[in-house]
Amino acid sequence: MRHEAGIVEGRAGHGLSGHEEDQVPVLDVRNLKVSYAAGGPQILKGIDFSVDGSDFCAVIGPSGAGKSTLIRCVNRLVEPTDGDIVLFGQNVRALRAGELRHLRRRIGMIFQEFNLVNRMSVMDNVLSGRLGYTGAFRSFFKAFPAEDIDRALHLLERVGLQDHVDKRADALSGGQRQRVGIARALMQKPEILLLDEPTSALDPKISRDVMGLIRELADEFKVPVLCNIHDVQLALETCNRIIGMQDGHKKFDGPSKGMRKQDLDEIYAMEVL
């Protein structure tokens, strides 16, 4: 079953056009397949979808549906077995190592387990988002340009951590650590944000606060988002578009406002919501 998105509700309450024929997508995925071993079972079984500049898109589905694998294929943290991934007009699967490094500078990623360096300060963790531009040598001597330091301070204020700049990352709560991860991702000046279960380690209230913050900042910086998320209700509340997966197949693709109970029942047919 495929549900085509028409006019979708945009971030921050603004109406935005959905998948118009003359709009070039930021990300276009066609017939994506992944097997982790030669001749082994397929994790992704011919997935097709695109992401436009106005999308805040949630990928939902039961455990083992392939959600995390799908997200990680986009920047080749997982190598696809077959299919095409076109990001910013480039065929991701065809890129060599140096080209892939340059592409990844344009992709912000927010992880489930935060991926912070615990012994480093909040400020240094955020500035590490510029490593792809400054290089390890300048980073080692903390020789970041003044504009990077100003941007880091601004982002820390935006995520509510302006009073924690010099704290070690391991002195923060889970919600604060994820806010550091958000600021670090935005330090890259990304053109797309990939979120891999960004709230699964957080309690329900903090999860809503964090997802609301990401949505607000994505709208502010005009960055499309592709988010693997396990909390269906949070996805419906926060995201303007839903991709539903089951057992490596796409079962739904459309606006969150148009999702019906029967659609969820089909996606989660083998799992109790």
List the chain domain ranges. Answer: 1-104+225-273
Look at residue 36 in the predicted model and tell me its pLDDT: 84
pLDDT class for 273, splitting at 50, 70, 90? Answer: very low
Alpha helices per DSSP H over 171-258: 174-187, 204-220, 232-238
Average pLDDT of span 179-188: 96
Q: Tell me which range, 16-25, 58-67, 129-138, is most confidently predicted by mean pLDDT.
A: 58-67
Average pLDDT of span 174-180: 95
Largest Cα–Cα distance of the chain, in whole Å?
56
Class of domain 1-104+225-273: alpha beta
Look at residue 135 in the predicted model and tell me its pLDDT: 59
Average pLDDT of span 189-194: 97
pTM: 0.86
Look at residue 21 in the predicted model and tell me its pLDDT: 44
Task: Give the residue, 155 or 10, on which the prediction is more confident.
Answer: 155
pLDDT in tens, 74-109: 999 999 999 999 999 999 999 999 999 999 999 999
What whole-number distance in Å separates Cα of residue 206 and Cα of residue 216? 15
**Kind plus residue range of the DSSP H or E element containing 146:** helix 146-158
Closest CA to 251 of 42, 70, 57, 47: 47
Q: Are 179 and 96 in contact (CB under 8 A)?
A: no
User: Which DSSP string do the residues of 110-128 spell out, in sequence order?
Assistant: E-TT----TTSBHHHHHHG
Average pLDDT of span 42-62: 96
What whole-number distance in Å separates Cα of residue 111 and Cα of residue 197? 7
Average pLDDT of span 215-242: 96
